[in-house]
């Protein structure tokens, strides 16, 4: 049986975002193996257990190899170690093809695969702050992408903006590229659920707690709206990303906001459906270089109206005025205006927006579309 490796930067995302793809590839007749790094902040103190709880969840169904991978920084010595980590593991597994996700696996994993003569399919998405600020580090990243991706067998992008940027700057060969509808969404799992009425309207932002995700603009809008309306709750769900200290919201800042009553921070969650089900509107005011934000896909799939920015990837999920609203980037006043506009709709109008959103997701973003493209590509490359 031919071996397919799925390589992701961290086990939480491997479990949350790639498990259904792995099952589909397995059902197509391949052995699937995961390669990822554990979140050191949640590794068990029990020495008999390896990895974190997410790597152990993966191991319930698939083989899993844990590697040391730093998600931040561009230290050349650390990066050489990362290449060696991938080389060491891939040499042991001897896969027929590797599917890489996120920047470091796509760059350093591909270098390792080239040395071992292993085929690769890379997924370039969520380019983040690095491609927004356009500084010296961006130039390094672009060179790393250009040097590594010339050895990739196939490259998927999650939106046409990113594909155009990479081809225009000659970072990739357009002939080996294709576009996916994000990571897709399980529309049978993320279905509309009955919502209990309690006279409180809830806005919900799900994301890593990074300033680039529009957290500051969301909180400022909460301050503005709470001066006018009562019975409004502004929820935040996601990791306080301490590893990404340059753009991460600090624990102290989050505590200040919650103590002042502007937002309700719910921490991270393994059951996003239940969180979304209780919300009235999903918001993501991101100016991060997104792929196609999964939280927007999941929210729309559950028939929730969406508010997001006119930003790469984000705008692909919303038809303005049809299944939600698009606001200006880095503009809390415009975000406030769109949120008030959402508040002033009748429940019937919001429900109709939600229904249109779900129709759009089923038609354009269902994960089965993504699975078919991957499986067809794997068959074409390795048989």
41-65 tens-digit pLDDT: 555 555 445 568 999 999 999 999 9
| CATH 3.40.50.2000 location in the chain | 3-184+366-382, 201-364
Give me the pLDDT at residue 49, please.
54
Tokens read off for 88: 């060491």
Q: Where are the alpha helices (DSSP H) in the chain?
A: 11-27, 53-59, 76-93, 103-104, 110-116, 130-133, 136-149, 160-168, 215-226, 251-259, 272-277, 294-301, 332-344, 347-364, 367-382
296-315 tens-digit pLDDT: 999 999 999 999 999 999 99
CB distance 130 to 162 below 8 Å: no
Burial (CB count <10 Å: 0-12, 13-18, 19+), residue 340: middle
Maximum C-alpha span of the chain: 63
Q: Which CATH superfamily is domain 201-364 in?
A: Glycogen Phosphorylase B; (3.40.50.2000)
The pTM is what? 0.88
Q: Which residues of the chain have pLDDT under 70?
A: 40-51, 71-77, 128-134, 241-245
Cα–Cα distance for residue pair 371/187, rounded to 1 Å: 13
Give me the pLDDT at residue 288, please.
86
Give me the pLDDT at residue 132, please.
61
Q: How many CA atoms lie within 13 A of 222 on its CB side?
A: 27
Mean pLDDT (the chain) is: 92
- Closest to 322 (Cα-Cα) out of 294, 295, 302, 300: 300
Give me the pLDDT at residue 47, please.
46
Buried b (16+ CB within 10 A) or exposed e, 238-273: bbbbeebeebbbeeebbeebeeeebbebeeeeeebe
Cα–Cα distance for residue pair 6/68, rounded to 1 Å: 16
CB distance 345 to 339 below 8 Å: no
Q: Which CATH superfamily is domain 3-184+366-382 in?
A: Glycogen Phosphorylase B; (3.40.50.2000)
């Amino acid at each position: 049986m031919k071996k397919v490796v799925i390589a992701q930067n961290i086990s939480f995302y491997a479990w949350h975002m790639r498990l259904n793809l792995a099952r589909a590839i397995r059902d197509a007749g391949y052995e699937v193996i995961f390669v990822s790094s554990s979140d050191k902040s949640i590794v068990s103190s029990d020495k008999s257990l390896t990895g974190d709880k997410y790597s152990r969840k993966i191991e319930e169904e698939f083989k899993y190899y844990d590697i040391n991978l730093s998600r931040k920084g561009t230290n050349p010595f650390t990066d050489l170690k990362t290449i060696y980590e991938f080389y060491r593991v891939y040499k042991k597994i001897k896969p027929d093809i590797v599917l890489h996700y996120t920047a470091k696996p796509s760059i350093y994993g591909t270098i390792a695969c080239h040395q071992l003569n292993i085929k690769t399919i890379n997924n370039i998405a969520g380019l983040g702050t690095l491609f927004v600020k356009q500084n010296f580090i961006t130039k390094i990243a672009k060179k790393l992408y250009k040097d590594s991706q010339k050895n990739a067998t196939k490259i998927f992008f999650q939106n046409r903006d990113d594909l155009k940027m990479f081809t225009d700057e000659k970072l990739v060969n357009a002939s080996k590229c294709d576009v996916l509808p994000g990571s897709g969404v399980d529309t049978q799992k993320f279905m509309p659920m009955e919502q209990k009425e309690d006279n409180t309207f809830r806005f919900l932002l799900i994301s890593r707690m990074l300033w680039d995700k529009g957290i500051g603009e969301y909180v400022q809008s909460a301050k503005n709206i709470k001066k006018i309306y009562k019975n409004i709750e502004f929820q935040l769900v996601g990791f306080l990303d301490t590893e990404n200290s340059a753009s991460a919201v600090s624990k102290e800042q989050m505590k200040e906001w919650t103590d002042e009553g502007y937002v309700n921070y719910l921490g991270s969650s393994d059951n996003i459906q239940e969180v979304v089900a209780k919300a009235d509107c999903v918001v993501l005011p991101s100016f991060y270089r997104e792929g196609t934000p999964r939280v927007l896909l999941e929210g729309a799939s559950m028939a929730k109206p969406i508010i997001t920015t006119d930003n790469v990837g984000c705008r692909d999920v919303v038809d303005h005025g049809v299944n939600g609203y698009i606001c200006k980037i880095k503009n809390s006043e415009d975000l406030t205006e769109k949120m008030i506009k959402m508040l002033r709709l009748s429940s019937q109008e919001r429900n109709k927006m939600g229904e249109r959103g779900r129709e759009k997701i089923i038609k354009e973003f269902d994960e089965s579309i993504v699975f078919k493209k991957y499986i067809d590509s794997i068959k074409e490359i390795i048989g």
